[in-house]
Amino acid sequence: MKLIGPFKQIVTLANLPLRGKLSDEQIDIVVDGGIVVNDGTIQEIGNFETLKYENQNINIETIEGQQIVLPGLVDSHTHICFGGNRANDFAMRNAGKTYLEIAESGGGIWSSVQHTRSASEEELLKTLLERINFLIALGITTIEVKSGYGLDVENELKMLRIIKKAQGQTEAKLVPTCLSAHLKPRDFEGSNQEYLEYILTEILPKVKEEELATRVDIFIEKSAFQPEESKDFLLKTKDLGFDITVHADQFTPGSSRIAVEVGAKSADHLEATIDEDIDFLAKSDTVATALPGASLGLGEKFTPARKLLDAGAIVAIASDWNPGSAPMGNLIIQASILATFEKLTTAEVLAGMTFRAAYALGLEDIGKLEAGKKADFVTFKTDNFQNVLYNQGSLKAENVYINGNQVH
């Protein structure tokens, strides 16, 4: 057992609701606080001096200078296991080509598939761990990681096995997701439907057998999979026992509706979601995940996070870090920018990067700082937590703790 502190402010987020809009007055802050950690779990949070007095012989990890604490951030949507890079796509888009045009001409996702297939396992593991360390240094303690650049049995399993291997070499908590339905690969002989059937019969049983992932994702879009075939596929993956998440409404509306209808944990992107579907999402338990990094990478509009929150949706914010649409990977910069364009309160942004994102991943033991939750948290050297978003990413995380251990 140990006591960590004193902290100028502990932003617990403990009493905030799961859904809907939030005002900053609702944020709970423990001033001059301490955190008692027992076996990786938070035992108590309160005034540092009081906790010290009440726990006479406790080990103390003293914090120097003025620091504030937030719950460890949760990045609930990434594609950080990949080979190669797509700087040329970025340049082509800025020179006037669209994301879909580049995809149709054989660039885009397909080009990352070729690079990922030809990369060695050592190289993929090394770059994945480097990206994980970059995220930990931002204060991110839980990271979802998708496959989706393998697109056949051998290479999808290769990706998922590498993600599993990475879990053995990092303190960050990884949540793997099978995204074999990212795109029908160019070398697959058959229709979209046949490819989806191939995923169901050839890939997912092995994913299950080797316990590589419990979640399945699909990209529903004109250039990828169509709404009806996707719905059928998702219902079958559900029957196999997988949780579902969907790349929805990125360029064309309609697919967030399918995500809700099949009971997906989250519908991510939503840049093109129409008002009617905002209400549909808001009445559901499907988390609406904004991916501002993709809007910034593509020069597309932002997810209508303000409208979604006002309608009562559960809104998460994730980085979508990938080599194509979202190459930056800095969730704090992206979320701060989303806040200024969508007019989101600090409470809404912090909730979106913590317990609301955790809910999208089905994780209940992280995302808030309160007794019983895991001791995952990030500190910043400042006396006021508002400075984190105000500095738009230039205020770096000071210390990062996972299960009560300092990892950064």
Please identify, among the stretches 46-54, 233-241, 254-262, 318-326, the one whose residues bind ligand NIG according to the rule CB under 6 A.
Answer: 318-326
Neighbours of 245 (CB within 10 A): 28
DSSP, collapsed to helix, strand or coil, labels residue 394 as coil
Q: Does 320 bind Fe ion (CB under 5 A)?
A: yes
Task: Name the residue nearer to ligand NIG (CB basis): 230 or 399.
Answer: 230
DSSP, collapsed to helix, strand or coil, labels residue 267 as strand
Write down the least CB distance from residue 155 to Fe ion, Å: 18
Exactly one of 33, 34, 108, 327 binds ligand NIG (CB under 6 A); which one? 108
Task: Name the residue nearer to ligand NIG (CB basis): 221 or 398.
Answer: 221
Binding partner of residue 219 among Fe ion, ligand NIG, none, CB cut-off 5 to 8 Å per kind: ligand NIG
Which residues partner with 245 through β-bridges? 217, 266
Task: Name the residue nearer to Fe ion (CB basis): 217 or 376.
Answer: 217
Write down the least CB distance from residue 315 to ligand NIG, Å: 17
Q: Does 322 bind ligand NIG (CB under 6 A)?
A: yes
Total residues binding Fe ion (CB under 5 A):
1
Q: Does 217 bind Fe ion (CB under 5 A)?
A: no
C-alpha to C-alpha distance for 403 and 374, rounded to whole angstroms? 6
Using CB positions, name the residue nearest to ligand NIG: 324
Binding partner of residue 404 among ligand NIG, Fe ion, none, CB cut-off 5 to 8 Å per kind: none
Binding partner of residue 382 among ligand NIG, Fe ion, none, CB cut-off 5 to 8 Å per kind: none
C-alpha to C-alpha distance for 245 and 271, rounded to whole angstroms? 16
C-alpha to C-alpha distance for 72 and 11, rounded to whole angstroms? 11
Task: Name the residue nearer to ligand NIG (CB basis): 34 or 304.
Answer: 304
Per DSSP, which regions of 124-248 are E strands? Answer: 140-146, 173-181, 215-219, 243-248
Task: Name the residue nearer to ligand NIG (CB basis): 67 or 250.
Answer: 250
Which residues partner with 244 through β-bridges? 216
| Residue 348 CB-density burial (10 A; 0-12 exposed, 13-18 middle, 19+ buried) | buried
Please identify, among the stretches 163-171, 232-240, 321-329, 373-381, the one whose residues bind ligand NIG according to the rule CB under 6 A.
Answer: 321-329
Q: Does 352 bind ligand NIG (CB under 6 A)?
A: no
Neighbours of 407 (CB within 10 A): 17
* Those residues with Cβ within 8 angstroms of residue 365's Cβ, 6 or more apart along the chain or in another chain: 372, 373, 374
Binding residues among 68-97 for ligand NIG as defined by CB under 6 A: 79
* Those residues with Cβ within 8 angstroms of residue 124's Cβ, 6 or more apart along the chain or in another chain: 81, 82, 83, 116, 158, 159, 162
Binding partner of residue 250 among Fe ion, ligand NIG, none, CB cut-off 5 to 8 Å per kind: ligand NIG
Please identify, among the stretches 1-9, 105-113, 186-194, 376-384, the one whose residues bind ligand NIG according to the rule CB under 6 A.
Answer: 105-113
Q: Does 294 bind ligand NIG (CB under 6 A)?
A: yes
C-alpha to C-alpha distance for 140 and 322, rounded to whole angstroms? 16
C-alpha to C-alpha distance for 168 and 128, rounded to whole angstroms? 13
Binding site for ligand NIG (CB under 6 A): 79, 108-109, 112, 219, 247, 250, 294, 320, 322-326
Binding site for Fe ion (CB under 5 A): 320
